[in-house]
């Protein structure tokens, strides 16, 4: 008898409806949370929360260069690069044998789509 094993895919917690976004909200996606969850095993991840930045939190932006990016808050200009860098792998321990992540970040979605593209 063969066992039906689901693919393990990392996903931004906010896409599953967890209120972890900077504004205390979420971006629940019904297709992902309800329909595809029958076919895959989601491994929810929120790097900002794992870095201890809390919810709600001030919005942030990337500054600097591609070789030396900095994660800085928009209003108070606080640099969270070190906090994010030291925690970026903390939540990924549960992601052994996982497939590419699903993120609510537009650049991350584009990068994932390009990576999966046959062209």
Residue 49 placed within a domain: yes
Answer yes or no: is 113 within a domain.
Answer: no
Q: How many domains are there within the chain?
A: 1
Determine the Cα–Cα distance for residues 74 and 91; give it in Å rounded to an integer: 25
pLDDT digit string, tens, across residues 71-101: 999 999 999 999 888 665 555 555 566 565 6
Which tens digit of pLDDT belongs to each residue from 21-56? 999 999 999 999 999 888 999 999 998 999 999 999
Q: Is residue 20 part of a domain?
A: yes
Domain that holds residue 35: 7-105
Token pair for 44: 């929810």
Whether 65 is covered by a domain: the verdict is yes
pLDDT above 70: residue 59: yes
Structural domain contains residue 117? no
Decide: 100 and 112 in contact? Cβ < 8 Å.
Answer: yes
> How far apart are the C-alpha atoms of 68 and 74, rounded to whole Å?
18
């Amino acid at each position: 008898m063969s066992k039906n094993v689901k693919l393990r895919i990392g996903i931004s917690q906010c896409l599953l409806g967890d209120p972890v976004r900077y504004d205390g909200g979420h971006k629940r996606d019904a297709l992902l949370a309800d329909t595809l969850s029958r076919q895959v095993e989601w491994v929810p991840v929120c790097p900002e929360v794992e870095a201890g930045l809390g919810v709600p939190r001030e919005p942030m932006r990337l500054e600097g260069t591609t070789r030396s990016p900095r994660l800085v808050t928009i209003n108070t200009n606080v640099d969270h690069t070190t906090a994010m860098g030291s925690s970026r792998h903390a939540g990924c321990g549960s992601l052994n044998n996982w497939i590419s992540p699903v993120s609510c970040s537009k650049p991350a979605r584009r990068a994932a789509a390009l990576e999966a593209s046959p062209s």
